[in-house]
Structure 1
Amino acid sequence: MAINYTDIEKLAELARIQLNDATIAETTQSIADVLSLVDRLNAIDTKNVDPMAHPTDAIQCLRSDNVTEVNQREAFQVIAPCTKNGLYLVPKVID
């Protein structure tokens, strides 16, 4: 797919941004480079390549799920303007 100067002008107009001629030319070239790379990647035969979730088959080391903080809800709710049954009450904003 090719992109040209007028395509970038139209995109800028749709996005409601103002671009000068130099920026449009630079953006056109950058997008053309990206599209060229995508075309090269699409040309690669991947028929015999199995899909994988991660290229290095890394295993994520997770920490244990232990509570490390003390419950301070009562201390925080003392300074809240309005609470009920352990919940913060706020004004209704949607009818």
Structure 2
Amino acid sequence: MISKEEVKRIAQLARIEIVEDQTEKYQAELSAILDFVGTLSSVDTAKVLQIRQITGLESVFRKDENHGQIYQGQTLVEQAPEHKEGYIVVPEVLKGK
């Protein structure tokens, strides 16, 4: 079982606030999740067929293909609508210093 300190640290990392009386509840729930993941990790999957997708659908988008053209950084910068001193100029997003 994970400790109360670990629950508090996880809450801090997730930037959520939990009150002291919720700590035991989350301690039990997180421990159950970790136990379940441990169970899944111990399952023998050696004879299971690997599949990448199960829907049978195909992508309607074109395939990414390399046409032998390699762009240099400066070439890409020059193709931008606005550039200055080797950099692409974009509208300011964050107001600040």
What TM-score do you get using the length of structure 2 for normalisation? Answer: 0.49
Partner of 1:45: 44
Residue 60 (structure 1) aligned with residue 53 (structure 2)? no
Unaligned runs of 5+ in 2: 61-89, 93-97
Partner of 1:23: 22
Deviations 1:57-95 (A, max 9, x none): 4323889xxxxxxxxxxxxxxxxxxxxxxxxxxxx624x
Partner of 2:91: 93
Deviations 1:8-44 (A, max 9, x none): 1122334444311222211111111111111111111
Larger radius of gyration: 1
Residue 11 (structure 1) aligned with residue 17 (structure 2)? no
Secondary structure of the corresponding residue to residue 7 of structure 2: helix
Separation in 2, partners of 1:58, 1:6: 43
Residues 77-88 of structure 1: pairs in structure 2 closer than 5 A: none
Q: 1:59 to 1:93 in 2, by over 3 A?
A: same
Separation in 2, partners of 1:51, 1:21: 44
Separation in 1, partners of 2:11, 2:55: 41
* Count of residues in Structure 1 that have an aligned counterpart in Structure 2: 63
Unaligned runs of 5+ in 1: 64-91
